[in-house]
Structure 1
Amino acid sequence: MHKGSIEWTDIQFFIAVARSHSARSVAEDLGVSHSTVSRRIDALEERLQARLFYRNSKGYQLTEDGEAMLGYAKSAEQYLDAAQKHLQGGSHRLSGEIRVTMPDVVAAHLVIPHLNEFTNAYPQINVQLLVTSQVLSLEKHEADVALRILPKGAEIPERFIARKLTNLPSCCYGSPAYIAESLPEHGRWLGWSSEDGKVNWAQNTPYPDLPYQHQISHGLIQLEAVRSGLGLARLPCFLADGINGVIRLPGAEPSSLHDLWLVSTPEHRNVLRFKVFREFIVSLFRRLEDKLEGKLAG
């Protein structure tokens, strides 16, 4: 065989000519010139270093090598057709896996209590929850769908499909004993990351000058740290309100510094299992929005 890959387009021309025995007929069917068909067949024979057709008054007649090549070409055509049908069908099946990444507080308090609704409706879809404070890459296929807490005004690249789900009101919290015994002289703020001191979200609280000490990136762990008396923290209201041993810092007003976004990639836009999951999440947070906003009065 001549070095160089065979172009699938040449194989398609070969199959068409083998079936019709006429380059002119194939040219008319495909809307190309007769010379284009002849040139494609010549190019294929050159690559294969084999004569595939006898050209005579009866048109194009397969040689022995042509008969053998036709068998291989038909098999390739069937496999590619089957692959196309399988992959296109997968886009319309309500089954398969969805890898969803989200922070622990969103998973534990907002999604998990309602996920059985989705499972009951779509029992053949397997949801893999990737619960982490790290930002997993959708572009590197580390996850398929992401629920992300982002600062107000954050811009999401246009290459993603993104939808704001809700505001996330937050407030400052501490344990009753810590607030009574440590403030104002010995109090501290617990941070989410090393950037908290630069942002200084405590500046509009009754204790803007308290130092930041310790960083805890997981919301559920930070809640436990507050309850244990390790310090004060700014926490989502849906997470901390109503929790035994945790109260709002007197004089602190809740506000929305962050939003919750649903993010996915365009390649999953029309895949049915991803579509119904996105619709479920949007519907869920539409129902939860009143609850989230209502926490502000607590």
Structure 2
Amino acid sequence: MSTMIQPTKNKHGVYILRMAVPSELRITLGKSEIKRSLKTKELAAAKLNAPAVMAEMQAMLQQARRTLQAEQSITNDDIELVASVWATKILPQADLIKERYLYLYPYGFDLNPASAQLKRYLDDREQHSKQWQDKWNLDLMQLVQREIAEALEWTPIELTHAWRNELAWRLADRRNQAAEMLILDILPKHSATVKQSAQAQPSSITFSELLVKYQAHIRYAEPARAEKRIIEYSTAAGRFIEFIGAKPIDTITVKDMADFRILMEQQPFRPSKDIKQRPLTEQAKVEGKKISPERVRNLLMALSAIFTIAVENQWICSGTLNLAT
């Protein structure tokens, strides 16, 4: 049974109670000590007020223990499942994705302002302090509140505030991927329409052949940045070539891109040299930490950049990419 904490005076002469927070509850409460004013400078009055304030402080600790138990009952796998179910239901709905997350600019479809803000949070999350991330959590919860409601309707689960925040980040990432995958389809079609090219459509090519053309173009168009850009995109391109093989560009679908994304999400974080020599499907079976959502998103955006340059240069043209089915 706890010993009654004795009132002490603060620097203003007002009596207060101070209670240390057990170490296991400090992260949950966000503090190492609870302080409460007894709202008097008279010791006798302070002692009369102390029991009620003490009970309030004890109740805070009990609630923190219940929250901690709830947090420990949920796992990252549970959150990933909720986010994955949401993405699986949303991804086939191209019109819904356009309506919610995209905007038709003069140059074609791109992320709407809210989606662009979401992408900035995702891109910068690893580079900023916890103080900034705490502020972003509030904004993020507002930006994805509809997605959270849908996800918890489709996969009901009781979440604490901390796990709800984590779900918000996972859904933000899946929402951003869905929008960017659709842009990969819409931008080429829009670009080809605007150009009104009279040239005949080129015959279908493989992604390997497309990559060779892209590398030659980037070396000519941006010689100062070409090699750096090619190196940055080489991992994504190499993995996609292994995944898609010699399949013609005009037969690549949204399902192909979704399957590729899922395969990338299963890749090991820091594979050994031996594991790197294995096929991607075998690497995906390796136990342990997987690559981050940010890394997966960067791989997809690298592919998007290659496809966009290809359409702008009419190596592939309107209707060639069949990513809407």
Same fold at TM > 0.5: no
The structure with the greater share of residues assigned to helix is 2
Pairwise TM-score range, normalised by the shorter structure: under 0.3
The structure with the greater share of residues assigned to strand is 1
TM-score, normalised relative to structure 1? 0.27
Q: Which has the higher contact order (CA 8 A, sep 6+)?
A: 1
